[in-house]
Amino acid sequence: MSERADAGAVAPRRAAQSRRDALGATMPAVFVLIWSTGFVVARLGMPHAPALTFLSWRYALSIVAFLLWVRLGRAAWPARAQWRHLGVTGILMHGGYLGGVWLAVKHGMGAGTSALVVGLQPVLTALWVSASGQEHRVSARQWLGLALGLAGLVLVLWRKLGVGEVDAFNLACVIAALLAITAGTLYQKRHVEPCDVRTANAVQLMAAFVVTVPLTVFESGAMELHPDLIVAMGWSVLALTLGGSSLLYLLIQRGAATRVSSLMYLVPPCTAVFGWLLFGEDLGAPVLAGLALTALGVALVVRQR
């Protein structure tokens, strides 16, 4: 009788674990799809607002949304000792990365050039991991995957390279964005302990808001209440921040930094597909070949031993 009872108790646990495993398996794909819409949002919203002003409003509205989510879900706040670490990651991964990319594009850098520069994050992360020995060493198979992914990225973006102007300011902004997202990923993996993703994101966004708002005084122009801006802001808050940032936090928490950062290779190819679907942009054989090459490279990096 007891054996039957034990079997009856084990079956629901196995089913629940299977559902969790299936959800975990889909998280990277969902994250890439959501994160890829960031350039579409920038294309919609950036003509109607200064970059940092837009991001400040995005952070503020996202904080309100997360606080409501925390209140409804009665989520636990992280230990006070973790607030400083979460604040650092928020400044780097929200304020530094998004601020750098948006400023670079706003000041004349083409989207292709900026995407290629920040697309170097997986290589930079792998170099740091190999040099520091903080995680399992990067294998030869993963280095091959990183090389293939970078080659595919170049194929996807090569027609957009040279579009727009590159000067000292926007180049410094996009390099700062690259260093910020790389450092933020590594810092979170090393210092941030597992905690509720809702409260963790709220703390991160508060830190990003505090450092971004004072910088808006150096911007010229004002926000124009345009329908495109409203759509861009709504999607930025509800999908990119509440959805994409939460998934990125969970992926870093659960996976190795090299494997997680390699997913960034897939963002420009997916963005190209969105551009084809939404704006009629031509894909072409090189872009499709680059998409396939990038997907193969990421598969080599993320495949378990």
pLDDT digits (tens, 9 = 90+) for 231-241: 999 999 999 99
What is the reported pLDDT for 6?
Answer: 52
The tokens for 126 are 């792998």
Measured over the CA atoms of residue 221, residue 227, residue 228 and residue 231, the dihedral's sign is positive
Query: How many CB atoms are located within 10 Å of the residue 164 CB?
Result: 17
* Confidence tier at 119 by pLDDT (50, 70, 90): confident
The tokens for 39 are 């350039």
What percent of the chain shows pLDDT beyond 70? 87
Which of the two residues, 121 and 116, has the higher pLDDT score? 121
Element (H, E) at 136: none
Distance between CA atoms of 147 and 149, rounded to whole angstroms? 5
Mean pLDDT, residues 33-49: 84
- The contacts of residue 172 (CB under 8 Å, 6+ apart) are none
- Please, are residues 257 and 129 in contact by the beta-carbon 8 Å criterion? yes
Quick one: which of 206, 3, 215, 186 has its CA closest to 87? 206
Distance between CA atoms of 155 and 149, rounded to whole angstroms? 10
Q: What is the pTM assigned to this prediction?
A: 0.83
Quick one: which of 101, 103, 95 has its CA closest to 209? 95
Which of the two residues, 82 and 5, has the higher pLDDT score? 82
What is the reported pLDDT for 298?
Answer: 86
What is the reported pLDDT for 93?
Answer: 93
Which residues make beta-bridge pairs with 199?
none
Which residue intervals of the chain are DSSP H helices?
Answer: 2-36, 38-45, 51-73, 80-90, 97-106, 111-118, 121-132, 140-157, 168-191, 197-212, 227-235, 246-254, 257-262, 267-279, 284-302
What is the reported pLDDT for 10?
Answer: 56
Q: List pLDDT tens digits, range 244-279.
A: 999 988 888 887 677 788 888 888 888 888 778 877
Distance between CA atoms of 59 and 125, rounded to whole angstroms? 26
- Please, are residues 50 and 168 in contact by the beta-carbon 8 Å criterion? no
Angstrom distances, CA of residue 92 to CA of 58, 100, 207, 295: 16, 10, 9, 27
Residue 7, pLDDT > 60, answer no
The tokens for 35 are 């994160």
Q: How far is CA 42 from the centre of its chain?
A: 14
Q: List pLDDT tens digits, range 207-224.
A: 999 999 999 999 888 888
- Please, are residues 221 and 100 in contact by the beta-carbon 8 Å criterion? no
* Confidence tier at 135 by pLDDT (50, 70, 90): low
Q: Is 130 exposed, middle or buried (0-12, 13-18, 19+ CB in 10 A)?
A: middle
Q: Is 304 exposed, middle or buried (0-12, 13-18, 19+ CB in 10 A)?
A: exposed
Query: How many CB atoms are located within 10 Å of the residue 239 CB?
Result: 17
